[in-house]
Amino acid sequence: MITTELKHLNQIRAHGERGYPDECCGLLLGKITEMGKIILEVRETENNWSADGAEYFQMSGSKRNRFTIAPEEMLKVVKEAREKCLEIVGVYHSHPDYRAVPSEFDRAIAWPEYSYIIVSVENGRAGELLSWTLDLDHQFLAEKILTDCKD
């Protein structure tokens, strides 16, 4: 289970719409507790997918259906999160003109400890938004999103 404020989900949706027709991506900062993960900040990042990424992952594609976050950006966010006593609890990205379900590429690059929020963006409009976690068999499981509905 992952808990967040509605404003964070709206920020992800808005980022997906701005990035359309390419995939957008970003990091979820917060805390991990006995009750699950809590998102306290959403950090937008640049989709750094390139031909180098295709070669590294041995998967073809473009920013329209792939994303990567630059290692130096990840390191920068990890350091900033630590300064706030937070950690990266997950990653989000959009699926332009596709459902909010993980692709094989998403599974190939996922880490078990993170949550993965995916927002579907159809014709430039954000729609379905779902969260997923990776089990020890490297399969995605749906993860419940709880919101406090403040915003």
User: Tell me, what's the pLDDT at 1?
Assistant: 94
Q: Which runs of E-coded beta strand occur in 5-139?
A: 25-33, 36-45, 87-96, 115-122, 125-134
Give dist(CA 18, CA 16) in Å, integer. 6
What pTM value is reported for the model? 0.93
Element (H, E) at 1: none
Q: How confident is the model at residue 51 (pLDDT cuts 50, 70, 90)?
A: low
Domain residue ranges in the chain: 2-140
The yes-or-no verdict on residue 20 having pLDDT over 60 is yes
The yes-or-no verdict on residue 41 having pLDDT over 90 is yes
Phi, psi of 11 (to 5 degrees): -65, -40
Quick: pLDDT tens for 93-131.
999 999 999 999 999 889 989 999 999 999 999 999 999
Q: Where does 2-140 sit in CATH, by number?
A: 3.40.140.10
Cis check: omega of the bond before 112, within 30 degrees of 0:
no
Mean of the per-residue pLDDT values of the chain: 92
The yes-or-no verdict on residue 45 having pLDDT over 60 is yes
